[in-house]
Amino acid sequence: MAYLTDRKRAQGLGSAKSGTAHFWSMKVSAVALLILIPLFVFTFGAALGGTYEEIIAYYSRPFPAIIAALTLAVGFKHFNDGAQTMIEDYVHGTAQKVVLILVTCLSYGAAAVGIFAIARLAL
């Protein structure tokens, strides 16, 4: 290892071989949420206070439905990545694996339920 350059050592990605990919996944989802959250607030805010029929008509249009679905999907993926980082830092042993599985199931399950609800409104 003494003959490796700094670049060659950095390409190893650390002992888990996934730290860089996880870091970039968090950064990309954070930037996506920077764009999606304001769009979601403006599209969702326009629907507030409407009757049931108005809401159904509003979300049957593609733009509000797509923005809401993308915000849910990216938001829960970002939540899962952040929770995974916290769990890996503070929980150890078998409990770590169990909690990681539970949080992953929770985040993807909640995203699926939300996207299904939006699809029901849109279709």
Which DSSP string do the residues of 71-119 spell out, in sequence order?
Answer: HHHHHHHHHHHHHHHHHHHH--THHHHHHHHHHHHHHHHHHHHHHHHHH
Q: Is residue 13 part of a domain?
A: no
| pTM score of the predicted model | 0.82
Contact of 53 with 11, CB cutoff 8 Å: no
pLDDT at 14: 54
Ordered mean pLDDT values, 10 residues apiece, the chain (123 residues): 64 62 92 97 92 93 96 97 94 95 97 96 90
End-to-end CA separation in angstroms for the chain: 59
Q: Is residue 10 part of a domain?
A: no
| Gap between the Cα atoms of 44 and 16, Å rounded | 40
Q: Is residue 59 part of a domain?
A: yes
pLDDT at 20: 80
pLDDT at 8: 63
Q: What stretch of H or E contains 25?
A: helix 19-47
Number of domains in the chain: 1
Q: Is residue 6 part of a domain?
A: no
pLDDT at 15: 57
Which CATH number does the domain housing residue 112 bear? 1.20.1300.10
pLDDT at 55: 92
Count of residues making up the chain? 123
pLDDT at 10: 63
* Domain coverage including residue 71: 20-122
pLDDT at 7: 67
pLDDT at 16: 58
Q: 83: Cβ–Cβ under 8 A, 6 or more apart, which residues?
A: 103, 107
Q: Is residue 11 part of a domain?
A: no
